[in-house]
Amino acid sequence: MPDTTINDEEVAKFSAMAEEWWNPNGKFKPIHKFNPVRLAYIRERAIAHFGLSDTARAPFEGLKILDIGCGGGLLCEPMARLGAQVTGVDPAERNVAIARLHAAQSGLEIDYRSTTAEALAAAGEQFDIVLNMEVVEHVDNVPLYMKSCGDLVKPGGLQFVATLNRTLRAYALAIVGAEHVLRWLPKGTHEWKKFITPEELTALIQRNGMRVTEKTGVVYHPLEDSWKRSRDLGVNYMVLAEKPA
Amino acid sequence: MSSSPAPQRFDVVIVGGGPVGMSLALALTRFMPGLSLALVDRRAFGVPQDQRASAIAAGVRRVFEALGVWGELLPGAEPVRAMRITDSGKGDISRPLFLSFEGDVVPGEPFAHLVPNRAIATALLGALEGKVDFVAPATITGWSGEGGAGLLTLEDGRQLAAPLIVAADGAQSGLRTRAGIGVLGHEYGQAGLVTTIAHSLPHEGIAYEHFRPQGPFASLPLPGNRSSLVWTETLAEAERIRALPAEALGLEIEAAMGSALGRVTPEEGLQAYPLRLQIARSFIGPRLALIGDAAHVVHPIAGQGLNLGLKDVAALAETIVEAMRLGLDHGAPDVLERYQRWRRFDTALMGLVTDGMNRLFSNDVAALRAIRDLGLGMVDRMAPVKSAMIARAAGLSGTGPRLLSGYPL
């Protein structure tokens, strides 16, 4: 077992929460629905950038990947299944405990830590790929946070950032729609003024010595009940950045 | 801790080594190299003593092409170039022709082939050699879908674990029963009769389907002057026919099918089995997916049993491979739900269509005969409707899985 310091009662409590995190029809359904589109994007771009096999069972073998704000491990586990050596960090001790427990159930080895991007960067750790997905819009000091994320990427490595644009449409869809009308997310999940435009995000990434190579919108298709990539960066979008070798 | 050895882990465990189970095993190992797979059967693997042939529709033939086994099957396969459908009342001498499908789905592509079952088994077994763990003969004594993996317990105490277990174990699926998945359907009160015949006149690649009051009678062309027969009778009549000596059986068949193929000699013992429509209430369970006859048994009137099973294979293989390419848990409920959504509608439709066809044709009420004769006659004059019927019979309609279009995954 990855952790032996937690007691049985805690394990029971976390098991129930892990089930909730991993129930595709439960509270975290929106994340489960969103997961395939971002996983496909990460897979495609990482395979192209690092010249990996597109047919291999575990194309990410040999890659060190960091997932910041890992939650219950919804991104970490797929990365580990694709062969990567994965580190997942989350400031919430509870999330880390849940993620560890679920990884053990899935028979996956993932290094989960309750820490922050700043602490990791200060320790001088670096990764081939840093996943910075749906976190920017929740942090307080965005410039400092983005600097830490940049420092965590190895020369020649990639950073994936996903977040919400600060547009009226994003306000209408992500806050009024997703939180108040559809109740996909708890009220108060997002704060509109913390949203960041692609231009602002690009400037912060480039300031830290990385080059933005692509910006992709992600749009929800209600009839198919699925998310697809789009040129429309108006609400959800992803940014891909490379650090020169 | 318990002293029993740890279960052997696989990516997928398939229970049932028939053509449907083997095709899924081949699709998965071909398009996801390195995938670990166990194929479990209660009998030792080998080519069965089976003289029958299966009708392989064009769409499904493409699945075999994409799996790389069609080249091996083609030399022994007989193309069906035309289908003649007739209707007749009891005692009618003439066989009025109401509907005929001529020609190919696309030029040069017959809408179906008759392929000997032994050839299918031989090709699939050969292609799987060295790629999967054959676990046979094996008796399953336990199943569980709890937690992160499906778990099978065998009679010898061995345990097999996988994120996904696939039930391809036939109409009487033991796994379906263990998972508590019920079935919908009914008995037709009819028996299906199957045999192979030699005949004095060439069939010219034509398949015949005669709708008789007691049920449909189909003859499907085999290589040479031989045909595969499938027909239905009442249970009592089936018993009587089964007891007939060969010569009397030949005469009985000639009378039933008219004179198109000349003198008939039965080649093998007649097989009879009760017919039923059966559709599983769910095609999925926890860490479990049902395919082939385990999921559905339709009336053989349209020759769709194996074809439906191979469509399941195409849909499930694509669902699993897509999930694994994204690193997703391929036995998770939302992944399995996608397979179920893809297959259940098509299956229910086919079940209703064949059931409806059987009810419409298996009777001798004059008014109904008039309606169906009118209906078929009209269909025969409406080219678009006919093409749609050919396309559906060939398994080509609808937005289907990639393998059904012959594309790799």
Taking contacts as CB-CB distances below 8 angstroms, the residues of chain B near A78 are 326-328
Q: Which of B32, B284, B326, B330 to mutate to test the interface with A (most CBs of A within 10 A)?
A: B326
Structure tokens at B351: 């079940």
Taking contacts as CB-CB distances below 8 angstroms, the residues of chain B near A79 are 327
- Collapsing DSSP to helix, strand or coil, A94 comes out as helix
Residue B173 domain-assigned (yes or no): yes
Q: What is the mean pLDDT of residues B314-323?
A: 95
Check whether residue B68 and residue B85 sit in a common domain.
Answer: no
Q: What is the mean pLDDT of residues A83-103?
A: 93
Contacts 24+ apart (CB under 8 A), A197-206: A197/A165, A197/A166, A197/A167, A198/A165, A198/A233, A198/A237, A198/A239, A201/A136, A201/A146, A201/A161, A201/A163, A201/A239, A202/A239, A204/A142, A204/A143, A204/A146, A204/A147, A205/A146, A205/A150, A205/A159, A205/A161, A205/A239, A205/A241
Check whether residue B31 and residue B157 sit in a common domain.
Answer: yes
pLDDT tens per residue, range A2-59: 443 335 666 666 666 777 888 888 888 888 889 999 999 999 999 999 999 998 999 9
Q: What is the mean pLDDT of residues B352-367?
A: 53
pLDDT tens per residue, range A188-217: 778 888 899 999 999 999 999 999 999 999
Nearest CB neighbour to A105, from listed B35, B148, B325: B148
Is A72 part of any known ligand binding site? no
Residue B309 domain-assigned (yes or no): yes
Check whether residue B389 and residue B260 sit in a common domain.
Answer: no
Check whether residue B21 and residue B134 sit in a common domain.
Answer: yes
pLDDT at A232 over 90: yes
pLDDT at B3 over 60: no
CB-count burial class (<10 Å; 0-12, 13-18, 19+) for A110 = buried
Q: According to the model, what pLDDT value does residue B95 have?
A: 47
B341 touches chain A (CB under 8 A): no
Q: According to the model, what pLDDT value does residue B403 have?
A: 83
Question: Among residues of chain B, what percentage have pLDDT more than 70?
Answer: 78
Taking contacts as CB-CB distances below 8 angstroms, the residues of chain A near B328 are 35-36, 39, 78, 81
pLDDT tens per residue, range B156-202: 999 999 999 999 999 999 999 999 999 887 777 888 888 889 999 99
Is A78 in Cβ contact with B326 (below 8 Å)? Answer: yes
Domain boundary among B219, B241, B275: B275
pLDDT tens per residue, range B14-25: 999 999 999 999
What whole-number distance in Å separates Cα of residue B18 and Cα of residue B279?
Answer: 19
pLDDT at B347 over 70: no
Check whether residue B255 and residue B306 sit in a common domain.
Answer: no
Q: Assign B348 a pLDDT band (cuts: 50, 70, 90).
A: low
Is A90 part of any known ligand binding site? yes
Taking contacts as CB-CB distances below 8 angstroms, the residues of chain B near A80 are 327
Q: What are phi and psi of B78, to 5 degrees?
A: -105, 120
Check whether residue B68 and residue B126 sit in a common domain.
Answer: yes
Q: What is the mean pLDDT of residues A100-115?
A: 93
CATH, residue B85: 3.30.9.10
pLDDT tens per residue, range A121-167: 999 999 999 999 999 988 889 999 999 999 999 999 999 999 999 98
Nearest CB neighbour to B35, from listed A39, A57, A79: A57
Q: According to the model, what pLDDT value does residue B408 have?
A: 81
What whole-number distance in Å separates Cα of residue B114 and Cα of residue B329?
Answer: 38
Check whether residue B235 and residue B144 sit in a common domain.
Answer: no
Q: According to the model, what pLDDT value does residue B108 have?
A: 64
Residue B302 domain-assigned (yes or no): yes
Is B332 in Cβ contact with A81 (below 8 Å)? Answer: no
Of B383 and A232, which is predicted with more confidence? A232
Structure tokens at B182: 């019920």
What number of C-beta contacts closer than 8 Å exist between A and B?
48
Taking contacts as CB-CB distances below 8 angstroms, the residues of chain A near B33 are 55-57
Residue B201 domain-assigned (yes or no): yes
Check whether residue B228 and residue B302 sit in a common domain.
Answer: no
For A142, residues 6+ apart whose C-beta sits below 8 A from its C-beta are A136, A196, A204
Q: According to the model, what pLDDT value does residue A87 have?
A: 98
Check whether residue B213 and residue B122 sit in a common domain.
Answer: no
Domain boundary among B226, B253, B275: B275
**3.40.50.720, 3.40.50.150, 3.90.650.10, 1.10.357.10: CATH of A8-165+193-243:** 3.40.50.150
Is A79 in Cβ contact with B32 (below 8 Å)? Answer: no
Q: Do B347 and B305 meet the contact criterion of CB atoms below 8 Å apart?
A: no
Domain membership of residue B210 as a residue range = 79-112+188-275
Q: Do B94 and B88 meet the contact criterion of CB atoms below 8 Å apart?
A: yes
Of A50-64, B105-119, B237-251, the one with minimum mean pLDDT is: B105-119
Q: What are phi and psi of B35, to 5 degrees?
A: -65, 135
What whole-number distance in Å separates Cα of residue B227 and Cα of residue A33?
Answer: 51
User: Closest Cα partner for B114 from B86, B74, B84?
Assistant: B74
Q: According to the model, what pLDDT value does residue A185 have?
A: 75
Domain boundary among B275, B307, B338: B275
Is A80 in Cβ contact with B327 (below 8 Å)? Answer: yes
pLDDT at B97 over 80: no
B325 touches chain A (CB under 8 A): yes
State yes or no: cis peptide before B110, omega within 30 of 0.
no
Residue B47 domain-assigned (yes or no): yes
Q: What is the mean pLDDT of residues B253-264?
A: 84
**Which of B101-105, B243-247, B298-302, B389-393 is modeled with the greatest confidence?**
B243-247
Chain B nearest C-alpha distance from A176 (Å): 27
Check whether residue B151 and residue B222 sit in a common domain.
Answer: no
Taking contacts as CB-CB distances below 8 angstroms, the residues of chain B near A25 are 333-334
Q: According to the model, what pLDDT value does residue B281 have?
A: 87
Structure tokens at B26: 């081949």
Of A44-58, B147-161, B219-233, the one with minimum mean pLDDT is: B219-233
Chain B nearest C-alpha distance from A66 (Å): 16
pLDDT at B367 over 80: no
Residue B218 domain-assigned (yes or no): yes
CATH, residue B311: 3.50.50.60
What whole-number distance in Å separates Cα of residue A17 and Cα of residue A14?
Answer: 5
3-state secondary structure chain B: CCCCCCCEECCEEEECCCHHHHHHHHHHHHHCCCCCEEEECCCCCCCCCCCCEEEEEHHHHHHHHHCCCHHHHHHHCEEECEEEEEECCCCCCCCCEEEEEECCCECCECCEEEEEHHHHHHHHHHHHCCCCEEECCCCEEEEECCCCCEEEEECCCCEEEECEEEECCCCCCHHHHHCCCCEEEEEEEEEEEEEEEEECCCCCCEEEEEEECCEEEEEEEECCCEEEEEEEEEHHHHHHHHCCCHHHHHHHHHHHHCCCCCCEEECCCCEEEEEEEEEECCCEECCEEECHHHCEECCHHHCCHHHHHHHHHHHHHHHHHHHHHCCCCCCCHHHHHHHHHHHHHHHHHHHHHHHHHHHHHCCCCHHHHHHHHHHHHHHHHCHHHHHHHHHHHCCCCCCCCHHHHCCCC
Nearest CB neighbour to A40, from listed B33, B34, B326: B326
Beta-ladder partners of B133: B38
Of A37-51, B96-110, B147-161, B357-371, the one with minimum mean pLDDT is: B357-371
Residues of A with a Cβ under 8 Å from any B Cβ are: 22-25, 32, 35-36, 39-40, 43, 55-58, 77-82, 105-107
Positive or negative, the Cα torsion across B140, B141, B146, B147? negative
What total of structural domains would you count in chain B?
A: 2
Q: List the single residue in B with minimal CA-CA distance to A83.
A: B327
Q: Tell me, yes or no, if the pTM score tops 0.90.
A: no
Q: Assign B354 a pLDDT band (cuts: 50, 70, 90).
A: low
pLDDT tens per residue, range B40-96: 999 999 888 877 788 888 878 889 999 999 999 999 899 988 877 776 544 444 444
Q: What is the mean pLDDT of residues B23-31?
A: 97
